Amino acid sequence: MKTNHNIFSLPKPLFWLLVIANLIYAFWLDSSFGSFWGWDISDLADKQTAAIEDVAAVAQFVLFAVTVDMTIRHFAVRFNETSQGHQIPAILVQALTLICYGIIGLFGFIVLYDHSAGQLLAASGAIGFGIVYVLREMIADVVACIQIQTDGLISIGDQIQVRGDGGGYYEIVQMDRRMVTIRTVLKYDVRIPNRRFINLDYINLSKQETEMGARRILEVDLDSGNDADKVIELLSQAAEFTIKNDPNFFPWYRAFLAKINNGAYTFFLVYECNPTIPPIRSNGIVNLSIARFFKLGGINMNSTVEVFKSSEIIDTVKSRIKDVYRLGVLRALNLEQVTQLTDAAEIVNCRANQLFIEKGHTADSMYILIEGGLEVTIPNEQGEEVVVASIWPGDCVGEMSLLTGEPRSANVRAKVHSTLLEITKANIAPIFESHPELIEEISSVLEQRKAANELLLNKTVEPDEMKKNIKALTKKILKFFFNKG
């Protein structure tokens, strides 16, 4: 995107009219006073010179200076309109304008007063040196501003990452001759002199070939008794889950074991997110995902790792559902009912790429994913499997078959080795018999989730339609379990 530098320039017809006016004026001077050049017909040091000649001479220098200035501006505007790379900033044009008028004014002063150029330059040089010394910081800021804008280092709205001590993530909100104004993630504005800004060690995230987010690191310390490969896999899943469900996170991450120290592992999860999100917030979002996956993955986050017997491992796997059951359809149940359900359920292990739910098959069970990852696919018109959803640890799949006996609506395959908890009609029927009111609550949960999915597709479900759907689903479940309806 090009930056609008707001450089004033005459329209093309007026510009060429100004150029032609210089030639016409020179010919008028020749016909009226006998020379094309004003300095030949005027000497301001000579008091006897006619005033009209002095005015005519000065006017030629003014007209010429304006023409040169407009030529520079005309070129800059046309260059910015056609260039796909660097742009000429307005401040550079303003500086060239001042130099242009200064040089032409100095030349006019010399020739119109018939002074020695050497003496005048020496005097003006001494004065100029003094002015430059007094205004050295301002001049340094202006020069730095020209360099920043000429090189296209930053633009208004860019997101930058400043490295080193006192670094962070900032947005460029304003640039002028003296200062660059940056805005912190907490919305505080900070003004930095241009000469200091140009020496900062920073990355312009908005000007990368592929736009980058803010790269941040989460450090996770665990007992070395944990399986390092499994921890890295779960950290990767947590990152993928966060990216999938939050548009503020960019599709890039790295998870790795950083160091081993005194019986402890230190893992790093490096991720990218929108730079405008404060680090404490983005880290909190990722930490929530990590906690979810660690709990379901059986990662021990205590100071020591316990060793379980095989029967205890089964109980431990089942107990993980108590930590996440509120994520799915089971949130209508209380903890006692969930415990009763998981005690009766069976653990199922699937190999990577194993198809364990097939579209069209009749079944009366659902699965809760504890570890691993699943893909939901449906065949297209060409018979190719198209992935329509991903199932994450804590999610359930196949609940409509469990509750209504409907055939499976899609294929489900394990992406990696996965552990699931299978809940059947026989497992949940006693709970429904004791608490029939749960049927309507579960119907409400399912319809709310369906409405949320419709909203993602820019479709809305009216409240009356929602009530009607809940009532219809409740009727189906009652008929399937108790032949009522």
pTM of the model: 0.58
Q: Which tens digit of pLDDT belongs to each residue from 52-81?
A: 888 888 888 888 888 988 888 888 888 777
Architecture of domain 323-482: Sandwich (2.60)
DSSP string, 154-215: --TT-EEEE-STT-EEEEEEEE-SSEEEEEETTS-EEEEEHHHHTT--EEEGGGSSS---EE
Percent of the chain with pLDDT over 90: 12
Give the tens place of pLDDT for each residue, 14-39.
Answer: 888 988 998 998 888 888 888 888 77
What is the number of other CB atoms lying within 10 angstroms of the CB of residue 353?
11
The two structure tokens encoding residue 420:
């699931």
CATH of domain 153-207: 2.30.30.60
The per-residue pLDDT for 303 is 46
Q: What is the mean predicted confidence (pLDDT) over 41-56?
A: 71
- Taking residues 318-341, report their average pLDDT: 77
What is residue 279's predicted lDDT score, i.e. its pLDDT? 87
> In this predicted structure, what is the pLDDT of residue 413?
92
CA–CA dist 455, 461 (Å, integer): 8
385-410 per-residue burial string, b: 16 or more CB within 10 A, e: under 16: eeeeeebbbbbbbbbbbbbbbeebeb
The sign of the dihedral angle between the CA atoms of 242, 248, 254, 258 is negative
Q: Which two tokens stand for residue 338?
A: 């969930």
More confident call, 339 vs 322: 339
Nearest to residue 65, comparing CAs of 92, 25, 34? Answer: 25
- Torsion angle, alpha carbons of 143, 145, 146, 148, to 10: 120
Look at residue 450 in the predicted model and tell me its pLDDT.
78
The identity of residue 424, as a single letter, is T
Write the pLDDT tens digit of every residue in 439-459. 888 888 888 877 776 665 667
Question: What pLDDT is attached to residue 119?
Answer: 56
CATH topology of domain 214-297: Alpha-Beta Plaits (3.30.70)
Quick one: average pLDDT of 320-346?
Answer: 79
d(CA 275, CA 272): 8
Q: What is the CA radius of gyration of the chain?
A: 38
Distance from C-alpha of 60 to C-alpha of 417, rounded to nearest angstrom: 87
The whole-number pLDDT of residue 145 equals 76
Q: Which amino acid is at 44?
A: L
Among residues 35, 152, 166, 11, the alpha carbon closest in space to that of 92 is found at 152
- Mean pLDDT in the chain? 81
- 113-139 residue pLDDT tens: 765 556 556 655 555 666 555 556 666
Percent of the residues in the chain that have a pLDDT greater than 70, as a whole number: 83
DSSP 224: T
140, pLDDT greater than 90: no
Q: How many whole angstroms separate alpha carbon 301 and alpha carbon 433?
A: 39
pLDDT computed for residue 98 by the predictor? 79
Local confidence band at 304 (pLDDT 50, 70, 90 cut-offs): very low
Q: How does pLDDT run across 77-125, given as a tens digit for each residue?
A: 887 777 766 677 776 777 778 788 888 887 777 777 765 556 556 655 5
User: Cβ distance 182 to 170 under 8 Å?
Assistant: yes
